[in-house]
Amino acid sequence: MRILVVEDDRRIAGFLERGLAAEGHQVAVELDGRDGLERARTDEFELIILDRMLPYIDGLEVAKLLREERGKAMILMLTARDSLEDKIEGLKGGADDYMTKPFAFEELLARIVALRRRRADLDDAEGELRVGPLALDPESRRVSRDGRPIALTAREFELLRYLMSNADKVVSRERLLNGVWSYGYDPGTKIVDVYVRYLRAKIDVPGEPSLIETVRGVGYMMPGRR
């Protein structure tokens, strides 16, 4: 993979560059958010490993800007901030996965493999998805309800795409965590429920049944027809 590392700690940046190169990846390094953003805009990368706290432009802002510009690179955010609120903020801001420092290099490699596999699975599901009044175009990353455009964050988009790809099937929280966030199952996390709530606020119409049904004790389902 072509990987961009944006990390202001030279020791960590050098460690990542050497380790990822040894695994066969092509690695570029930038040491601040401003240069990292410019490099991500001008070169083609499959993955960006992005520190949260960076000089000039914060890593969270870099992720948001790249998503607003519809950048296709996956983003793995590294940070010393490990609260649930920080993770939700990072994921909502555009990161595809989130790891806290210090981290084991073996886990980082496993996360990269999971992200790549998830991207390949999503790329295989080509063509526009339609479920009830919703339409989702994976190529343009546009979503609409009855022709009305709906603006979604990168994470909301991936969650909706996963649910629509599995229309009429009950999808467990465990599958959603693994398929959308690449997390191992943590029965204590509420991140799936939080993002389903975000989605419902954008795709549902007041006074009408939600397009995402809750299956108590299991997960969620999008009925193919209404």
Q: Give the global pTM.
A: 0.59
- The whole-number pLDDT of residue 125 equals 54
Query: What is the C-alpha separation between 146 and 133, in angstroms, rounded?
Result: 5
pLDDT digits (tens, 9 = 90+) for 19-33: 999 999 999 999 999
* Residue 40: predicted pLDDT: 93
CA dist., res. 123 & res. 62, Å (int):
24
pLDDT digit string, tens, across residues 209-225: 999 999 988 899 999 75
pLDDT over threshold 70, residue 185:
no
Percent of the chain predicted with pLDDT > 70: 90
Q: In Å, how far from its chain's centre is CA 143?
A: 17
Q: What is the pLDDT of residue 215?
A: 92
